[in-house]
Amino acid sequence: MSHFKVLYFASAKDASGKESEEFEWFEGIGCEKLTQLLVERHPDLAPVLKTSMFAVNMEYMDQGLSWTVQPRDEVAVIPPVSGG
């Protein structure tokens, strides 16, 4: 069984209640499917994901382009932080 890891930052960490966790991997997890998987597990992530960016293995992933998560990838959910 293959897995991939998700890292949550800032408000995504609050919404999921976790810093990171494992997901079961399968073929064809693109941006949309990933969003769906995350919201299924943590409904509170839904509004956060609307304004967050994704990075895979520490590299920014454009939500408009087609890409898929590979086994053992590390996906980061990065919402903007605006405080200072």
Partner 1 sequence: MSNSLSPPNAVPKQSADISSLEHRIRQLELEKDALEQQVRALRLEQTQSYRTASTTENTPEALNRLQQVAGLNNAEIARYGRQLILPEFGIQGGSGVGRLGIVDHDTVDTSNLHRQIIHNEARQGMSKAQSAALSIRMLNPHCEVVVHDLVLDSSNAQPIIDAYDIIIDGTDNVATRYLLNDACVLGKKPLVSGSALRLDGQLTVYNYRGGPCYRCLFPTPPPAETVTNCSDGGVLGVVPGIVGCLQALEAIKIATGMGSQDPPTMTLFSANSTTLFRTIKLRKRKAECIVCGDSPTVTKLIDYVRFCGSSATDKTPDLFMIPFQERLTCEAYKAICDSHTPHLLLDVREKVQYDICSLPSSMNIPLKHLPGQIKLIQESLGSGSDKPIYIVCRRGNDSQPAVRILQEHGVTAGEIKDVVGGLEKWTDRIDPDFPKY
Are the CB atoms for 48 and 80 separated by under 8 Å? no
Q: What angle do CA 6, 27, 57 make, to 5 degrees?
A: 35
Q: Which residue among 47, 68, 70, 71 contacts partner 1 (CB under 8 A)?
A: 47
* Structure tokens given for 28: 């064809």
Interface residue with partner 1, options 22, 27, 64, 66 (CB under 8 A): 64
Interface map 4-43 toward partner 1 (x if CB under 8 A): -----xxx-x-----x------------------------
Beta strands in the chain (DSSP E): 3-8, 20-24, 53-56, 59-61, 74-78
Residues that bind partner 1 (CB under 8 A): 9-11, 13, 19, 47-48, 50-51, 53, 55, 58-60, 62, 64, 76, 78-84
